[in-house]
C-alpha cells in the first residue's frame, strides 16, 4: 500500500490503537490535540504533532481522522473541510445537530472535501442504506447494557441496580430525543439514523438488562423488502471501558477501504 499522510484529531483510546496500526501499514501519522490536554505527553516520538488547525489545513494531508469527541467535530472539522480535505468522523452523534450537519455537508460540497462516516461500534449500515426509501419501513435500535452501566439512572427510578431481575426500559422515543438526553451514547444511533430514514423516523430504546453480557446493540428493520435482526455484543476497549474495542478496527477498515482500488459499498 502506498504511504499516505494521515492526521489524527485526538490521542485517546481509539486514536492510540489506530496510530499504531497505521504506522505498521507504512503511513505517516501526525496528531492534532487541543493545547494543554494531558494526552499530549502520551504521544510517542514516532508521531508528529500538528500545532493547530491552520497548520493542519495548510499541510494538506491525504486524510484527517477525528477520534476526539463532539466538541472537536464542531471546532476542528469545519476548517478541514474548508481546506478541501477528507475527514473520517468517529463522533457521528455530533451530527444530530441539523445546523452543524448542514454546515459540514455544505462546506464539503463547496470546497471539494468529504465527510466519511464509519460503522463504528455497529454493523449492517449497508443494509440500512439500502432500505432507507423502502415502503412500510420501521427501523428500531435498542441499546442493552448491564445494570452497572446505568446505576445512577436506575436508582433515580427507585431500582436497586444490584438486585435487578427483569429488564428495565430507561428510554423509548426517537433518535432525535435520544440525542438530547444521552449525547455521549448516541454515536451508534446517529449512524443508523443518518444511514436510514433520519433522526425522527428512527426509534431508539435504552434498556438495562441483567442478562446483557456486555454492551449490546440490537437493530430491527422491517420493510416491504424483508426483515433484519442484528445483535452485536461489543467488548470494551482495554484502555477506555466506555468505548467499544471494535471502534478502532472499524476506523482502520474504513481507512483501508478509502485508499483501496477496490471499494466494498
Ligand X SMILES: NC(=O)c1ccc[n+]([C@@H]2O[C@H](COP(=O)([O-])OP(=O)(O)OC[C@H]3O[C@@H](n4cnc5c(N)ncnc54)[C@H](O)[C@@H]3O)[C@@H](O)[C@H]2O)c1
Locate all alpha helices (DSSP H) within the chain, ordered by sequence.
Answer: 13-24, 53-59, 70-75, 77-82, 98-111, 125-131, 151-156, 175-181, 187-195, 246-259
Task: Tell me which residue has its CB nearest to ligand X.
Answer: 12
Q: Considering the complex, state which of residue 146 and residue 159 has its C-beta at the smaller distance from ligand X.
A: 146
Any residues with CB less than 8 A from the CB of 106 and at least 6 apart, and which?
Answer: none
Q: Considering the complex, state which of residue 93 and residue 147 has its C-beta at the smaller distance from ligand X.
A: 93
Summarize as ranges the residues that interact with ligand X (CB under 6 A): 9-15, 32-34, 37, 39, 67-72, 75-76, 90-92, 120-121, 187-188, 240, 243-244, 247
Tracing cell 440500512 back to the chain, one arrives at 128
Residue 149 C-beta: closest distance to ligand X, Å: 14
Q: Considering the complex, state which of residue 34 and residue 140 has its C-beta at the smaller distance from ligand X.
A: 34
Between CA 209 and CA 146 the distance in angstroms is 5
Query: Facing residues of 31 across strands?
Result: 8, 49
| Active-site residue flag, 217 | yes
Residue 91 C-beta: closest distance to ligand X, Å: 3
Q: Cell for 119?
A: 460503522
Give which of 89, 77, 104, 56 is closest to 255, Cα–Cα.
89
Give which of 61, 62, 2, 59 is closest to 26, Cα–Cα.
2
Q: Considering the complex, state which of residue 96 and residue 159 has its C-beta at the smaller distance from ligand X.
A: 96
Residue 225 C-beta: closest distance to ligand X, Å: 25
| Residue 262 DSSP label | S
Residue 203 C-beta: closest distance to ligand X, Å: 19
Residues annotated as catalytic (active site), given as ranges: 217
Amino acid at each position: 500500500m502506498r504511504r499516505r499522510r494521515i492526521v489524527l484529531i485526538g490521542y485517546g483510546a481509539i486514536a492510540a490503537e489506530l496510530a499504531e496500526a497505521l504506522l505498521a501499514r507504512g503511513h505517516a501519522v501526525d496528531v492534532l490535540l487541543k493545547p494543554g490536554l494531558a494526552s499530549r505527553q502520551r504521544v510517542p516520538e514516532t508521531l508528529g504533532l500538528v500545532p493547530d488547525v491552520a497548520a493542519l489545513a495548510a499541510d494538506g494531508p491525504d486524510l484527517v481522522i477525528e477520534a476526539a469527541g463532539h466538541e472537536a467535530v464542531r471546532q476542528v472539522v469545519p476548517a478541514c473541510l474548508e481546506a478541501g480535505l477528507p475527514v473520517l468522523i468517529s463522533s457521528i452523534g455530533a451530527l444530530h445537530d441539523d445546523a452543524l450537519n448542514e454546515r459540514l455537508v455544505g462546506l464539503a460540497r463547496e470546497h471539494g472535501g468529504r465527510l466519511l462516516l464509519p460503522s463504528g461500534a455497529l454493523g449492517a449500515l449497508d443494509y440500512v442504506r439500502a432500505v432507507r426509501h423502502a415502503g412500510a419501513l420501521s427501523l428500531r435500535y435498542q441499546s442493552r447494557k448491564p445494570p452497572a452501566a446505568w446505576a445512577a439512572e436506575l436508582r433515580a427510578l427507585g431500582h436497586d441496580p444490584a438486585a435487578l431481575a427483569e429488564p428495565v426500559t430507561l428510554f423509548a422515543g426517537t433518535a432525535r430525543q435520544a440525542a438530547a438526553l444521552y449525547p455521549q451514547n448516541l454515536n451508534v444511533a446517529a449512524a443508523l439514523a443518518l444511514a436510514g430514514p433520519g433522526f425522527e423516523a428512527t426509534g431508539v430504546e435504552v434498556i438495562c438488562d441483567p442478562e446483557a453480557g456486555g454492551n449490546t446493540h440490537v437493530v430491527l428493520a422491517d420493510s416491504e423488502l424483508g426483515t433484519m435482526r442484528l445483535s452485536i455484543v461489543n467488548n470494551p476497549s482495554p484502555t477506555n471501558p466506555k468505548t467499544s474495542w471494535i471502534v478502532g478496527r472499524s476506523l482502520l477498515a474504513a481507512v483501508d477501504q478509502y485508499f483501496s482500488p477496490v471499494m466494498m459499498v
